[in-house]
Structure 1
Amino acid sequence: MTVATARAVRVHGVLWIIDELHAAGVCEVELLISALQVWRADDAVFLPVAEIDKRLRRFSA
C-alpha cells in the first residue's frame, strides 16, 4: 500500500468489492453473506472482523 500511496494510486480491498457488488445489485445477497461468513471463520483471512460483521448485519436486514 505504501508504494500505491507514493504513486498516488487508489487501493481497494475485497470488502470494497463486496460493497460494490451489493450496490450494483449484480450478485445475490445470499452469496455475499456466504463469502463473508467463510472469510470470518477462516484463520488465514486477515480482514477486520468488525467490518465483516457490519456487512453481515446490513445484508441480513
Structure 2
Amino acid sequence: MLGGETWTSAELYYGVTAHLKGDANKWLVIMSEGLEAEDCTFEYLASRLRKKYGRRENTWQIQK
C-alpha cells in the first residue's frame, strides 16, 4: 500500500521512474528504448537498478 492505495507493479514502475534524476534518468532513457511493455514492472526496474548500481542497504534495513 502506498498513500492508502494498493498500486500495481506497473504503477510503481512509472511512479519510481518519474523521480529518477541525473545519471539514473539518463540510464533509464537508454535502458527503456528496447523495453517490452510486460517488462515495465517495479520488479524488473529494481533488478536492473541493482545490476547497474549495486544493492544499497538503508538504515532501516540494517537496523531490522
TM-score interval (norm. to shorter): 0.3 to 0.5
TM-score normalised by L of structure 2: 0.34
Greater helix share, 1 or 2? 1
* Structure having greater relative contact order (Cα 8 Å, sep ≥ 6): 2
